[in-house]
Amino acid sequence: MDPNRRRPPQLDRRGVLAGGLAALGLAAAATAALPLAGPLARRFGAAAPVVPDAPAGEERLETRFCAARGRTVDFYTAVPAGYGTGRGLPVCLVLHGGSRAPRDYPGLGLGRFLTDAVRRGAPPFVLAGASGDRLGWRPGGPDDPQRMVHAELPAWCRALGFDTSRLAAWGWSMGGAGSLLLAEAYPGFLRGVAAFSPAVFPGDDVFGGLSRLGRLPVGLWCGRDDSLYDQVRALERALPTPPVAGGYADGRHNFGYWSTVVPAAFDFVARTLAR
């Protein structure tokens, strides 16, 4: 659902991603936020994200063969700065939208947001995500990204020493819808779902499975200028229990808006994983 944009330069697919972005504005509460500067600002245009002035910690972009998708996929992980390799930390699974993928996550500042959340007092957790299909995180067929997230992504995380007994999911656009579908398909698998501008429509499969969410904590955010705003408000009304986090502010369907609510979403995810 989010507009297609040119992919960033090739990243090292093995090993730690050093550095990232420098001299960025603060996105944490009570701190001024500034857009990305230089080439990334030119690439994102008016939708340039704001990121906190915090170190990224350990970010990795590797590859794994995914049986559920029948192909090799990118596998991204991020650990907050000061927590080493993240052994024993719970996991937030990241489901991307249509035009961003794991190789874009360092450029979006996800590792910096993660460290910033912990420095502001959130219980620590790690991020983990893999490449999904551009047509959505739906199950079925020989290419099944939902099965990858349910079965293979946690196994890859366990091999790194992460605590996969505590899982949450976060996604934007089609990834927001995919996070809700994942929770509906596997009740009890997740401790919470954070969804940014989920690509949902009344009568679709997300709406059809909402009763299976039960009392699962859901955080729901959407910009008031987003074309999906009315559908997301309808989703909020249809949830079996009201969202426990989220909100609506001026913003469109892009990371210019989504980056402003990542801190609140990570605070919500951290609380659900610490239970």
Express each pLDDT in 164-220 by its tens digit.
999 999 999 999 999 999 999 999 999 999 999 999 999 999 999 999 999 999 999
Whether pLDDT at 27 is above 70: no
- Ordered by where they begin, the domains of the chain are 39-274 (3.40.50.1820)
Find all residues with CB under 8 Å of 66, minimum gap 6, and list them.
72, 73, 130, 148, 152
In percent, the amount of the chain with pLDDT more than 70 equals 83
pLDDT of 6 > 90? The answer is no
Residue 7 has pLDDT above 90, yes or no: no
**Residue bearing tokens 């701190």:** 31
The span from the CA of 20 to the CA of 22, in Å, is 7
Burial label for 212, CB within 10 Å (0-12, 13-18, 19+), is middle
**pLDDT digits 0-9 by tens, 74-124:** 999 999 999 999 999 999 999 999 988 999 999 999 999 999 999 999 999
**52-68: pLDDT as tens digits:** 999 999 999 999 999 99
Residue with tokens 């999911």: 169
pLDDT of residue 134: 82
